């Protein structure tokens, strides 16, 4: 899997295309202008099989990736990435009027290294050994970002693949679909955030130019797989921050369906999808459906997802935001930087501190107007409620959560039994029997020495249990 990711060097992230604008020919000017030499050299080196010269065209941060890839014998044998080209021809190159920063995905600090940056939309006609989701026989559409330094030297900062195009004038019946920040999911009522976590998720992928729909993927397995694809190594806090972003982005997609009756919520890589007779190009988070158990290659990924499973990012008004993440992004921009998360983790930041550093809406330059101003709250869904405002019963009580501000049902936290009664340490409710696991436990069934945390541990599935008891409580209040 990692060889394939490196081979196509689509190392720019997750939502590169999801954030990009629709591309139409009339949005660009100077169609007859000569493209930068660094682009034509790139095409020339591919045609001449001078792969060892390509890294010198790439900016310093990614150069070592190209150097490593071109030395992989397996990639040459399997015709992966650059080695999939039989020949390449630059059909057309159009300079954008302005640079799309959300598509470029680099920080302001990096931009200062260049006297100027240009965005070029290029159609490359390719003859290939095999059609893939990253390169196809015929015309392919790419975006090149070219940086010019003070000494007039140029490098390719990013090269992004948009898919196959049949019109060299850059028009298309399948424009790239823009995804903005949906309205954050509102403050929860009468339930816990756990209720939003689905058991399964439908994923749209692509193979041999055809859409492949993978239904009923275990949501937990999806989060393992996708976190591994998006950031496969680094200190634990960086992996944990990306794991939270991956999970919450997917949850948001399930709550804001885009694909009609397709029974799918997210798109892996880039793929054309027809919805209600209209075809658009979509790209969300990478899911490797051909290697669904890839996360087992890295125990750190499994641990990162499990450690953060109960955590959510809420804005200052307790609404759940869509957690965009890119390879590179500015701090306090509303988009998590994957490489930035890795760097901050290496400096000792916790995953909560990392998430706040990118999602806090406290400075200018924040991308999403629908996210409430102020600091975000990275909260655990294991809620703790104040004194209840509604009646209590054997299952729990209703109150305002001290952690996330929600108003919802909360399970009791019991003390050890005294004189045949258990007492909730939060609301004071007393009962002669309590819930342990899926059954009612009489006082004598639980040792006197068992404390509240041990009682919680006795429940084998607290998420499902909390959801079930919450539903019972709501029904009781309505009756």
In this predicted structure, the answer to whether residue 280 has a pLDDT above a threshold of 60 is yes
Cβ 321 vs Cβ 355: under 8 Å = no
Exposed/middle/buried for residue 154 (C-beta within 10 Å: 0-12, 13-18, 19+) = buried
CA distance 223 to 266: 12
Q: In this predicted model, what pLDDT tens digit does every residue of 165-211 receive, in sequence order?
A: 644 333 333 444 444 456 777 766 545 667 788 999 999 987 766 78
Count of CB atoms situated within 10 Å of the CB of 445 = 12
Per DSSP bridges, beta strands 439-441 and 434-436 are antiparallel
Q: Which of 21-35, 197-211, 268-282 has the lowest mean pLDDT?
A: 21-35
Q: Which of 133, 138, 184 is nearest to 163 (CA)?
A: 133
- pLDDT digits 0-9 by tens, 213-261: 888 899 999 999 999 988 888 899 999 999 999 999 999 999 888 887 8
So where are the chain's domains?
Answer: 21-164, 193-380, 396-478
Q: What mean pLDDT do residues 430-450 have? A: 49
Q: Whole-model pTM?
A: 0.55
CATH class of 21-164: alpha beta
Report the alpha-carbon distance of residue 442 to residue 420 in Å, rounded: 9
| CA pseudo-torsion sign 438, 439, 442, 446 | negative
pLDDT of residue 368: 85
Written as six digits, the tokens of 309 are 């499973």
Digit-coded pLDDT (tens) for 393-421? 656 666 666 666 666 566 677 777 777 77
State the pLDDT confidence band at 71, using cuts at 50, 70 and 90.
confident
Q: Is the pLDDT of residue 66 over 90?
A: no
Looking at 269-313, list the stretches that DSSP marks H as alpha helix, in order from N- to C-terminal side: 299-307
Range in 125-129, 244-248, 453-457 the model is least confident about: 453-457
Convert the pLDDT of each residue in 330-340 to its tens digit.
889 899 989 88
Distance of CA 301 to the CA centre of its chain: 14
For residue 101, what pLDDT is reported?
75
If DSSP codes are grouped into helix, strand and coil, which group holds residue 219? Answer: helix
Residue 302 vs residues 19, 197, 236, 248: alpha-carbon distances, Å: 28, 17, 11, 16
- pLDDT range class, residue 56, cuts 50, 70, 90: very high
- The label of the residue with tokens 């008891």 reads 469
Q: Is residue 478 very low, low, confident or very high in pLDDT (cuts 50, 70, 90)?
A: very low
Angstrom CA distances, 239 to 3, 198, 221, 324, 464, stand at: 20, 22, 16, 15, 26
Between 12 and 189, name the one with better pLDDT. Answer: 189
Both structure tokens of 286: 């990478």
pLDDT over 70 for what percent of the chain? 69
The answer to whether 300 and 312 have CB atoms below 8 angstroms apart is no
pLDDT at 463: 34
Convert the pLDDT of each residue in 338-389 to its tens digit.
988 999 999 999 999 999 999 999 998 888 888 999 999 888 876 565 655 5
Residue 115: other Cβ atoms inside 10 A: 11
Could you tell me if residue 364 is left (phi over 0), alpha (psi between -120 and 50 degrees) or otherwise beta? beta
- Position 192 scores a pLDDT of 61
pLDDT at 405: 64
pLDDT, residue 46, reads: 93
Give me the DSSP letters along 144-209: EEEEE-TTS-EEEEEEEEEEE-S-TTS--SSPBPP---PPPBPPPBSS-GGGGS-SEEEEEEEETT
């Amino acid at each position: 899997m990692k060889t394939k990711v490196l081979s196509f060097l689509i190392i720019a992230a997750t939502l590169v295309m999801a954030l990009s604008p629709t591309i139409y020919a009339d949005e660009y000017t100077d169609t007859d202008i000569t493209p930068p030499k660094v682009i034509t050299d790139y095409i020339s080196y591919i045609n001449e099989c001078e792969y060892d010269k390509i890294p010198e065209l790439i900016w310093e941060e990614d150069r070592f990736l190209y150097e490593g890839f071109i030395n992989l014998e397996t990639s040459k044998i399997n015709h992966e990435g650059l080695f999939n080209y039989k020949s390449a021809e630059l059909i057309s190159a159009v300079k954008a009027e302005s640079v799309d920063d959300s598509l470029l995905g680099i920080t302001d600090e990096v931009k200062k290294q260049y006297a100027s940056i240009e965005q070029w939309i290029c159609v490359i006609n390719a003859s290939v050994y095999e059609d893939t989701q990253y390169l196809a026989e015929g015309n392919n559409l790419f975006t090149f970002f070219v940086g010019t330094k003070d000494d007039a030297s140029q490098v390719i900062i990013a090269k992004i693949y948009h898919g196959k195009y049949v019109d060299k004038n850059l028009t298309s019946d399948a424009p790239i679909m823009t995804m903005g920040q949906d309205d954050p999911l509102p403050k929860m009522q009468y339930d816990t955030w756990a209720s939003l976590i689905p058991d399964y998720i439908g994923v749209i992928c692509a193979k041999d130019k055809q859409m492949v729909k993978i239904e009923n993927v275990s949501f937990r397995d999806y989060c393992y797989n996708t976190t591994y694809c998006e950031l496969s190594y680094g200190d634990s806090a960086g992996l944990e921050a990306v794991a939270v972003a991956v999970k919450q982005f997917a949850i948001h997609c399930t709550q804001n369906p885009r694909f009609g009756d397709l029974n799918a919520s997210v798109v892996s890589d880039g793929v054309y999808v027809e919805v209600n007779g209209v075809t658009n190009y979509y790209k969300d988070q990478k899911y490797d459906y051909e290697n669904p158990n890839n996360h087992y290659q890295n125990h750190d990924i499994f641990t990162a997802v499990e450690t953060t499973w109960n955590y959510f990012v809420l804005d200052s008004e307790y609404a759940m935001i869509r957690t965009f993440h890119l390879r590179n992004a500015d701090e306090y921009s509303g988009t998590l930087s994957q490489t930035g998360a890795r760097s901050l983790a290496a400096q000792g930041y916790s995953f909560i501190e990392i998430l706040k550093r990118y999602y806090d809406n406290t400075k200018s330059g924040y991308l999403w107007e629908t996210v409430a101003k102020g600091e975000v709250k990275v909260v655990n869904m294991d809620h703790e409620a104040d004194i209840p405002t509604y009646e209590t019963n054997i299952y729990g009580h209703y109150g305002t959560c001290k952690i996330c501000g929600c108003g919802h049902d909360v399970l009791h936290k019991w003390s050890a039994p005294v004189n045949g009664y258990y007492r909730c340490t939060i609301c004071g409710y007393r009962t002669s029997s309590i819930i342990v696991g899926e059954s009612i436990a009489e006082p004598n069934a639980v040792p006197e020495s068992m404390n509240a945390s041990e009682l919680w541990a006795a429940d084998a599935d607290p998420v499902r249990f909390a959801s079930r008891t919450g539903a019972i409580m709501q029904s009781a209040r309505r009756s």
